[in-house]
Structure 1
């Protein structure tokens, strides 16, 4: 399971990239989505690499993300039982929106700020594919 986080805002985005970000449901800064790990999604992430960062989410961070930032329609929080059920269903390949959970997670800017420039690619900057290192950033944003 891949998590993608939009780092940069909406100003100066080309139409093709804006459309791709909309297809990924990443319309605003500091929003995150869970995505399946397949060829078409990776292609979309590569096209939008100048605007977001992504990587493989760990089970601990997935649980923390659903507990703290997971919402049902009506902006209601998830109960502990719903979180456990959602984690099991997600691991078996079910979409998060099919579980009655909003697909977009609204995060805060990272505590302590970004460590590098948000205009350069990983490892010199914050953008692009991070792999497992996304979990460190995600912990500071939840």
Structure 2
């Protein structure tokens, strides 16, 4: 499971890249989405690499994101009771395991696919350089540390 976060804003973005980020549902800074590892999504991530960061996410982080930042339609928080009553899963942790394994998506459970996060504590590194050069953009490999700063 891959988590992608938008790091940079809308100013000066080329039309093609803006369309790609709209298809990924990353329309604003600090929005996060979960993606399956697929050649199509991989190409979209590479095209938008100058504006987003992404990486592998573990089950614990997925569970924290759903619990703390997950919203239902009507801007209602996700609760354990809602998951038990409206899905095939008995808890948020079980749903998180299914999502990270690729067996389900958060949309199947009625949760909005975009998670609005806070800016990271202590801020981003450089927002115009890649992660390999000491910045914040592009493929991180493991995104759990950044996401935990943003929850």
Give the structure-2-normalised TM-score. Answer: 0.88
Q: For the structure 1 residues 47 and 78, does the alpha-carbon distance in structure 2 shift closer, same or farther, using more than 3 Å as the test?
A: same
Match for residue 75 of structure 1? 75
1:99 aligns with 2:109: yes
2:131·2:139 contact (CA, 8 Å) conserved in 1? yes
Structure 2 unaligned spans of 5+ = 84-91
1:80 Cα shift? 2.6
Aligned mate of 2:137, from 124, 127, 136: 127
Q: Distance in 1 between matches of 2:79 and 2:136?
A: 33
Q: CA offsets, 1:15-52, max 9 Å, x none?
A: 00000000000000010000111111011000000000
Q: How many residues align?
A: 140
SS at match of 2:111: coil
Give the structure-1-normalised TM-score. Answer: 0.93
Q: CA offsets, 1:50-70, max 9 Å, x none?
A: 000000111111111011001
Q: For the structure 1 residues 44 and 92, does the alpha-carbon distance in structure 2 shift closer, same or farther, using more than 3 Å as the test?
A: closer
RMSD: 1.2
Q: Distance in 2 between matches of 1:73 and 1:36?
A: 23
Structure 1 unaligned spans of 5+ = none
1:92 Cα shift? 4.5
Which consecutive aligned stretches of 4+ in structure 1 deviate over 2 angstroms post-superposition? none
2:36·2:102 contact (CA, 8 Å) conserved in 1? no
